[in-house]
Protein backbone atom coordinates (compact mmCIF):
# COMPACT_ATOMS: atom_id res chain seq x y z
CA UNK A 1 0.00 0.00 0.00
CA UNK A 2 1.19 3.44 -0.57
CA UNK A 3 1.32 7.08 0.22
CA UNK A 4 0.82 9.45 -2.72
CA UNK A 5 1.97 13.00 -3.02
CA UNK A 6 1.57 15.50 -5.84
CA UNK A 7 3.68 18.63 -5.66
CA UNK A 8 2.96 21.71 -7.70
CA UNK A 9 1.58 19.75 -10.65
CA UNK A 10 0.60 21.73 -13.73
CA UNK A 11 -0.83 20.34 -16.94
CA UNK A 12 -2.05 22.14 -20.03
CA UNK A 13 -3.85 20.77 -23.07
CA UNK A 14 -3.39 22.89 -26.17
CA UNK A 15 -2.86 26.11 -24.22
CA UNK A 16 -5.77 25.43 -21.87
CA UNK A 17 -4.68 24.77 -18.30
CA UNK A 18 -6.25 21.61 -16.93
CA UNK A 19 -4.38 21.69 -13.62
CA UNK A 20 -2.74 24.68 -11.96
CA UNK A 21 -0.06 24.16 -9.29
CA UNK A 22 -1.88 21.26 -7.72
CA UNK A 23 -0.65 20.01 -4.34
CA UNK A 24 -2.23 16.86 -3.04
CA UNK A 25 -1.35 14.35 -0.37
CA UNK A 26 -3.04 11.01 0.15
CA UNK A 27 -2.11 9.02 3.23
CA UNK A 28 -1.49 5.28 3.18
CA UNK A 29 -4.73 3.32 3.29
CA UNK A 30 -6.91 6.36 2.79
CA UNK A 31 -10.05 6.57 0.69
CA UNK A 32 -9.54 9.89 -1.03
CA UNK A 33 -12.27 11.33 -3.22
CA UNK A 34 -11.65 14.04 -5.78
CA UNK A 35 -14.89 15.92 -6.30
CA UNK A 36 -15.45 18.34 -9.12
CA UNK A 37 -17.53 19.20 -12.12
CA UNK A 38 -16.83 18.03 -15.66
CA UNK A 39 -13.63 19.64 -16.87
CA UNK A 40 -12.37 20.44 -13.38
CA UNK A 41 -9.27 18.29 -13.94
CA UNK A 42 -10.24 15.23 -11.90
CA UNK A 43 -9.53 12.69 -14.60
CA UNK A 44 -6.32 14.47 -15.57
CA UNK A 45 -5.09 14.21 -11.98
CA UNK A 46 -5.91 10.52 -11.98
CA UNK A 47 -4.19 9.88 -15.28
CA UNK A 48 -1.10 11.73 -14.07
CA UNK A 49 -0.94 9.55 -10.97
CA UNK A 50 -1.45 6.46 -13.15
CA UNK A 51 1.36 7.50 -15.49
CA UNK A 52 -0.85 7.70 -18.58
CA UNK A 53 -0.26 11.42 -18.78
CA UNK A 54 2.91 13.42 -18.14
CA UNK A 55 2.58 16.65 -16.16
CA UNK A 56 4.14 19.80 -17.67
CA UNK A 57 5.54 20.69 -14.31
CA UNK A 58 5.69 19.33 -10.78
CA UNK A 59 6.54 16.02 -9.15
CA UNK A 60 4.61 12.88 -8.26
CA UNK A 61 5.79 10.81 -5.34
CA UNK A 62 4.58 7.34 -4.47
CA UNK A 63 5.91 6.21 -1.09
CA UNK A 64 8.31 9.11 -1.20
CA UNK A 65 9.88 8.04 -4.50
CA UNK A 66 9.70 10.38 -7.48
CA UNK A 67 7.89 8.37 -10.14
CA UNK A 68 7.84 11.12 -12.79
CA UNK A 69 9.92 9.09 -15.23
CA UNK A 70 8.10 5.79 -14.67
CA UNK A 71 5.56 4.27 -17.03
CA UNK A 72 2.16 3.05 -15.98
CA UNK A 73 3.36 -0.53 -15.63
CA UNK A 74 6.18 0.32 -13.22
CA UNK A 75 4.03 2.39 -10.90
CA UNK A 76 2.01 -0.66 -9.91
CA UNK A 77 -1.36 1.06 -9.81
CA UNK A 78 -4.77 -0.28 -10.78
CA UNK A 79 -7.25 1.73 -12.76
CA UNK A 80 -10.99 1.31 -13.05
CA UNK A 81 -12.64 3.45 -15.69
CA UNK A 82 -16.20 4.49 -16.30
CA UNK A 83 -16.27 2.63 -19.62
CA UNK A 84 -15.23 -0.67 -17.95
CA UNK A 85 -12.51 -1.41 -20.55
CA UNK A 86 -12.83 -5.15 -20.32
CA UNK A 87 -10.93 -7.09 -22.94
CA UNK A 88 -13.47 -8.17 -25.55
CA UNK A 89 -13.65 -11.74 -26.84
CA UNK A 90 -12.47 -13.11 -23.51
CA UNK A 91 -14.38 -14.69 -20.69
CA UNK A 92 -14.63 -13.11 -17.27
CA UNK A 93 -12.02 -15.55 -15.99
CA UNK A 94 -9.60 -14.66 -18.79
CA UNK A 95 -10.12 -10.99 -18.06
CA UNK A 96 -9.33 -11.50 -14.41
CA UNK A 97 -6.28 -13.61 -15.27
CA UNK A 98 -4.95 -11.05 -17.72
CA UNK A 99 -2.92 -8.91 -15.29
CA UNK A 100 -1.47 -12.01 -13.64
CA UNK A 101 -0.39 -13.67 -16.86
CA UNK A 102 1.87 -10.87 -17.95
CA UNK A 103 5.53 -11.85 -18.30
CA UNK A 104 6.68 -9.22 -15.81
CA UNK A 105 5.12 -10.89 -12.81
CA UNK A 106 5.19 -14.65 -13.41
CA UNK A 107 2.54 -15.97 -11.09
CA UNK A 108 2.22 -19.75 -10.73
CA UNK A 109 -0.91 -21.16 -12.47
CA UNK A 110 -2.25 -22.60 -9.23
CA UNK A 111 -2.00 -19.23 -7.55
CA UNK A 112 -3.66 -17.49 -10.49
CA UNK A 113 -6.57 -19.87 -10.18
CA UNK A 114 -6.82 -19.33 -6.47
CA UNK A 115 -6.63 -15.54 -6.63
CA UNK A 116 -9.15 -15.28 -9.44
CA UNK A 117 -11.58 -17.40 -7.50
CA UNK A 118 -11.13 -15.43 -4.31
CA UNK A 119 -11.74 -12.14 -6.15
CA UNK A 120 -14.80 -13.61 -7.84
CA UNK A 121 -16.15 -14.62 -4.45
CA UNK A 122 -15.51 -11.16 -2.98
CA UNK A 123 -17.34 -9.45 -5.82
CA UNK A 124 -20.02 -12.15 -6.13
CA UNK A 125 -19.31 -12.91 -9.78
CA UNK A 126 -18.36 -16.60 -9.38
CA UNK A 127 -21.29 -17.72 -11.52
CA UNK A 128 -20.11 -15.46 -14.36
CA UNK A 129 -16.53 -16.69 -14.60
CA UNK A 130 -16.95 -18.68 -17.81
CA UNK A 131 -19.14 -16.09 -19.51
CA UNK A 132 -18.00 -13.82 -22.36
CA UNK A 133 -17.75 -10.22 -21.30
CA UNK A 134 -20.18 -8.95 -23.96
CA UNK A 135 -22.94 -11.01 -22.34
CA UNK A 136 -22.77 -9.10 -19.05
CA UNK A 137 -24.90 -6.30 -17.69
CA UNK A 138 -23.40 -2.93 -16.79
CA UNK A 139 -23.14 -3.72 -13.10
CA UNK A 140 -21.55 -7.09 -13.77
CA UNK A 141 -19.06 -5.55 -16.17
CA UNK A 142 -18.04 -2.97 -13.62
CA UNK A 143 -17.60 -5.67 -10.99
CA UNK A 144 -15.32 -7.61 -13.33
CA UNK A 145 -13.40 -4.44 -14.03
CA UNK A 146 -12.96 -3.82 -10.30
CA UNK A 147 -12.03 -7.47 -9.94
CA UNK A 148 -9.30 -7.10 -12.52
CA UNK A 149 -7.92 -4.25 -10.45
CA UNK A 150 -7.90 -6.05 -7.11
CA UNK A 151 -6.68 -9.43 -8.33
CA UNK A 152 -3.22 -7.92 -8.69
CA UNK A 153 -2.83 -6.39 -5.24
CA UNK A 154 -1.53 -3.09 -6.55
CA UNK A 155 -0.12 -0.31 -4.38
CA UNK A 156 -2.80 2.19 -5.34
CA UNK A 157 -6.33 1.96 -6.70
CA UNK A 158 -7.41 4.67 -9.09
CA UNK A 159 -11.08 4.90 -9.98
CA UNK A 160 -12.47 7.25 -12.57
CA UNK A 161 -16.21 7.63 -11.97
CA UNK A 162 -16.64 3.86 -11.93
CA UNK A 163 -20.26 4.05 -10.84
CA UNK A 164 -21.53 6.84 -13.08
CA UNK A 165 -22.78 4.62 -15.87
CA UNK A 166 -24.85 2.44 -13.56
CA UNK A 167 -28.43 2.87 -12.47
CA UNK A 168 -29.22 4.38 -9.08
CA UNK A 169 -29.91 1.21 -7.15
CA UNK A 170 -26.83 -0.61 -8.38
CA UNK A 171 -24.73 2.47 -7.76
CA UNK A 172 -25.80 2.50 -4.14
CA UNK A 173 -25.05 -1.21 -3.73
CA UNK A 174 -21.61 -0.99 -5.35
CA UNK A 175 -20.82 2.11 -3.30
CA UNK A 176 -21.16 0.17 -0.08
CA UNK A 177 -19.31 -2.75 -1.59
CA UNK A 178 -16.39 -0.60 -2.70
CA UNK A 179 -16.09 1.03 0.68
CA UNK A 180 -16.15 -2.38 2.38
CA UNK A 181 -13.55 -3.64 -0.06
CA UNK A 182 -11.27 -0.71 0.67
CA UNK A 183 -11.51 -1.37 4.39
CA UNK A 184 -10.78 -5.11 4.00
CA UNK A 185 -7.86 -4.51 1.67
CA UNK A 186 -6.59 -1.55 3.64
CA UNK A 187 -5.62 -0.07 0.29
CA UNK A 188 -5.04 3.49 -0.82
CA UNK A 189 -7.90 4.62 -3.04
CA UNK A 190 -8.07 7.67 -5.24
CA UNK A 191 -11.64 7.97 -6.38
CA UNK A 192 -12.83 10.58 -8.85
CA UNK A 193 -16.45 11.63 -9.07
CA UNK A 194 -18.77 14.51 -9.84
CA UNK A 195 -21.41 13.10 -7.50
CA UNK A 196 -21.28 14.75 -4.09
CA UNK A 197 -23.33 11.97 -2.50
CA UNK A 198 -20.68 9.46 -3.55
CA UNK A 199 -17.96 11.71 -2.25
CA UNK A 200 -19.64 12.29 1.11
CA UNK A 201 -20.60 8.68 1.69
CA UNK A 202 -17.35 6.99 0.68
CA UNK A 203 -14.48 9.36 1.25
CA UNK A 204 -12.19 9.44 4.26
CA UNK A 205 -11.08 12.72 2.84
CA UNK A 206 -12.45 14.80 0.01
CA UNK A 207 -10.61 17.17 -2.27
CA UNK A 208 -12.78 19.67 -4.11
CA UNK A 209 -11.45 20.70 -7.51
CA UNK A 210 -12.55 23.85 -9.28
CA UNK A 211 -11.17 24.56 -12.75
CA UNK A 212 -7.83 22.89 -12.16
CA UNK A 213 -7.33 24.18 -8.64
CA UNK A 214 -7.77 22.28 -5.42
CA UNK A 215 -10.07 24.51 -3.36
CA UNK A 216 -10.45 22.51 -0.19
CA UNK A 217 -9.29 19.24 1.29
CA UNK A 218 -10.87 17.77 4.39
CA UNK A 219 -13.06 15.11 5.91
CA UNK A 220 -16.65 15.03 4.63
CA UNK A 221 -17.93 16.69 7.81
CA UNK A 222 -15.33 19.46 7.62
CA UNK A 223 -16.22 20.15 4.04
CA UNK A 224 -19.88 20.11 4.87
CA UNK A 225 -19.71 22.28 7.99
CA UNK A 226 -16.91 24.67 7.04
CA UNK A 227 -16.65 25.17 3.32
CA UNK A 228 -13.76 27.48 2.44
CA UNK A 229 -15.74 29.33 -0.19
CA UNK A 230 -19.13 29.56 -1.86
CA UNK A 231 -18.07 27.10 -4.60
CA UNK A 232 -17.51 24.32 -2.08
CA UNK A 233 -20.66 25.35 -0.21
CA UNK A 234 -22.67 24.95 -3.40
CA UNK A 235 -21.12 21.68 -4.52
CA UNK A 236 -21.60 19.70 -1.30
CA UNK A 237 -24.92 18.93 0.35
CA UNK A 238 -28.35 18.09 -0.96
CA UNK A 239 -30.39 20.25 -0.93
CA UNK A 240 -27.51 22.73 -1.26
CA UNK A 241 -26.61 25.44 1.19
CA UNK A 242 -28.69 28.62 0.96
CA UNK A 243 -26.54 31.56 -0.11
CA UNK A 244 -28.04 34.98 0.47
CA UNK A 245 -26.41 38.33 -0.27
CA UNK A 246 -26.65 40.97 2.43
CA UNK A 247 -24.78 42.85 5.14
CA UNK A 248 -24.25 42.70 8.90
CA UNK A 249 -25.93 45.55 10.85
CA UNK A 250 -26.05 45.73 14.66
CA UNK A 251 -25.31 42.04 15.07
CA UNK A 252 -28.05 41.01 12.69
CA UNK A 253 -28.01 39.75 9.12
CA UNK A 254 -29.85 42.08 6.80
CA UNK A 255 -30.41 40.24 3.51
CA UNK A 256 -31.18 41.69 0.15
CA UNK A 257 -34.02 39.17 -0.04
CA UNK A 258 -35.82 41.48 2.37
CA UNK A 259 -35.63 39.81 5.77
CA UNK A 260 -33.44 40.28 8.77
CA UNK A 261 -32.44 37.67 11.37
CA UNK A 262 -29.92 37.68 14.22
CA UNK A 263 -26.46 36.12 13.92
CA UNK A 264 -23.96 35.34 16.62
CA UNK A 265 -20.72 35.57 14.65
CA UNK A 266 -18.19 38.32 14.23
CA UNK A 267 -19.36 41.86 14.49
CA UNK A 268 -16.02 42.64 12.86
CA UNK A 269 -17.78 42.42 9.53
CA UNK A 270 -20.25 45.26 10.29
CA UNK A 271 -21.49 47.01 7.20
CA UNK A 272 -19.43 44.98 4.76
CA UNK A 273 -21.20 43.32 1.77
CA UNK A 274 -21.23 39.61 2.48
CA UNK A 275 -22.97 36.40 1.44
CA UNK A 276 -24.68 34.47 4.22
CA UNK A 277 -24.54 30.71 3.98
CA UNK A 278 -26.96 28.53 5.88
CA UNK A 279 -27.71 24.82 5.55
CA UNK A 280 -31.40 23.89 5.13
CA UNK A 281 -31.42 21.94 8.39
CA UNK A 282 -30.48 25.06 10.35
CA UNK A 283 -33.61 26.89 9.25
CA UNK A 284 -37.03 26.14 10.68
CA UNK A 285 -40.61 27.22 10.24
CA UNK A 286 -41.51 29.50 13.16
CA UNK A 287 -44.82 31.42 13.26
CA UNK A 288 -43.41 33.90 15.82
CA UNK A 289 -40.34 34.80 13.74
CA UNK A 290 -40.04 38.27 12.25
CA UNK A 291 -38.98 36.90 8.84
CA UNK A 292 -41.95 36.12 6.61
CA UNK A 293 -42.13 34.28 3.32
CA UNK A 294 -44.46 32.47 0.98
CA UNK A 295 -44.29 28.68 0.56
CA UNK A 296 -43.20 28.09 -3.01
CA UNK A 297 -42.74 24.32 -3.18
CA UNK A 298 -42.81 21.27 -0.92
CA UNK A 299 -40.94 18.02 -1.53
CA UNK A 300 -42.17 15.31 0.78
CA UNK A 301 -39.40 12.82 1.51
CA UNK A 302 -41.32 10.91 4.15
CA UNK A 303 -39.01 11.38 7.13
CA UNK A 304 -38.82 15.09 6.41
CA UNK A 305 -40.04 17.71 4.01
CA UNK A 306 -37.90 20.03 1.93
CA UNK A 307 -39.74 23.34 1.81
CA UNK A 308 -38.79 26.07 -0.63
CA UNK A 309 -39.74 29.56 0.52
CA UNK A 310 -39.95 32.60 -1.73
CA UNK A 311 -38.83 35.79 -0.09
CA UNK A 312 -38.28 38.89 -2.16
CA UNK A 313 -36.73 37.58 -5.36
CA UNK A 314 -34.75 34.85 -3.58
CA UNK A 315 -35.57 31.27 -2.70
CA UNK A 316 -34.69 29.73 0.65
CA UNK A 317 -34.78 26.00 1.26
CA UNK A 318 -35.32 24.43 4.65
CA UNK A 319 -36.02 20.99 6.00
CA UNK A 320 -39.14 20.60 8.12
CA UNK A 321 -40.12 17.59 10.22
CA UNK A 322 -42.88 15.36 8.87
CA UNK A 323 -45.19 16.58 11.64
CA UNK A 324 -45.44 20.07 10.14
CA UNK A 325 -47.86 20.62 7.30
CA UNK A 326 -47.23 23.87 5.45
CA UNK A 327 -49.33 24.45 2.34
CA UNK A 328 -48.22 25.92 -0.96
CA UNK A 329 -48.73 29.71 -1.24
CA UNK A 330 -49.31 29.96 2.50
CA UNK A 331 -47.53 32.82 4.24
CA UNK A 332 -45.21 31.51 6.98
CA UNK A 333 -42.60 32.82 9.39
CA UNK A 334 -39.12 31.29 9.59
CA UNK A 335 -36.00 31.63 11.67
CA UNK A 336 -32.51 30.16 11.74
CA UNK A 337 -29.91 28.95 14.17
CA UNK A 338 -27.72 32.05 14.62
CA UNK A 339 -24.72 29.88 15.56
CA UNK A 340 -24.63 28.12 12.20
CA UNK A 341 -24.49 31.03 9.82
CA UNK A 342 -21.37 31.19 7.65
CA UNK A 343 -20.20 34.50 6.26
CA UNK A 344 -18.56 34.63 2.84
CA UNK A 345 -16.88 37.60 1.24
CA UNK A 346 -19.23 38.81 -1.51
CA UNK A 347 -16.59 39.39 -4.19
CA UNK A 348 -14.05 36.59 -3.59
CA UNK A 349 -16.50 34.07 -2.15
CA UNK A 350 -14.02 33.26 0.64
CA UNK A 351 -15.23 32.03 4.04
CA UNK A 352 -14.66 34.96 6.44
CA UNK A 353 -14.81 32.97 9.65
CA UNK A 354 -12.19 30.50 8.49
CA UNK A 355 -9.59 33.15 7.77
Which of 132/350 has CB closer to another protein? 132
Min dist. Cβ of residue 295 to another protein (A): 49
Min dist. Cβ of residue 247 to another protein (A): 52
Min dist. Cβ of residue 128 to another protein (A): 17
Please check whether residue 238 is in contact with residue 196, taking contact to mean a CB–CB distance below 8 angstroms: yes
Please check whether residue 298 is in contact with residue 280, taking contact to mean a CB–CB distance below 8 angstroms: no
Query: Counting every residue, how long is the chain?
Result: 355
Which of 42/148 has CB closer to another protein? 148
Q: In what helix (H) or strand (E) does residue 99 lie, and over which residues does it extend?
A: helix 92-101
Burial 305-323 (b: 16+ CB within 10 A, else e): bbbbbebeebebbbbbeee
Which of 27/73 has CB closer to another protein? 73
Min dist. Cβ of residue 106 to another protein (A): 11
Burial 30-48 (b: 16+ CB within 10 A, else e): bbbbbbbeeebbbbbbbbb
d(CA 130, CA 122): 17
Which of 190/217 has CB closer to another protein? 190
* Spatial CB neighbours of 326, under 8 Å, sequence gap ≥ 6: 285, 295, 298, 305, 307, 320, 332
Min dist. Cβ of residue 331 to another protein (A): 56
Which of 105/124 has CB closer to another protein? 105
Min dist. Cβ of residue 258 to another protein (A): 53
For residue 101, give the 3-state DSSP assignment.
helix
Q: Which residues bind another protein (CB under 8 A)?
A: 50, 52, 71-73, 76-79, 81, 83, 85, 87-89, 98-99, 101-105, 148, 152
Which of 119/253 has CB closer to another protein? 119
Amino acid sequence: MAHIELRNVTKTFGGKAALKNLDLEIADGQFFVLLGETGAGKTTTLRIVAGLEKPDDGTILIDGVDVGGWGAAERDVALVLQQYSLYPRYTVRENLEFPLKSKIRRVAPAEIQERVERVARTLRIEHLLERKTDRLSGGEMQRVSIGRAIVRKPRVFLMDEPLSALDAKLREALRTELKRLQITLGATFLFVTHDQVEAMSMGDRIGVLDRGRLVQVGTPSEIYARPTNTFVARSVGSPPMNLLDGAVRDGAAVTEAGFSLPISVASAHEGRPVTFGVRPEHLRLDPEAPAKARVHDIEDHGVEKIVTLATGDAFVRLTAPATQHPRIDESVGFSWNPEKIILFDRTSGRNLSAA
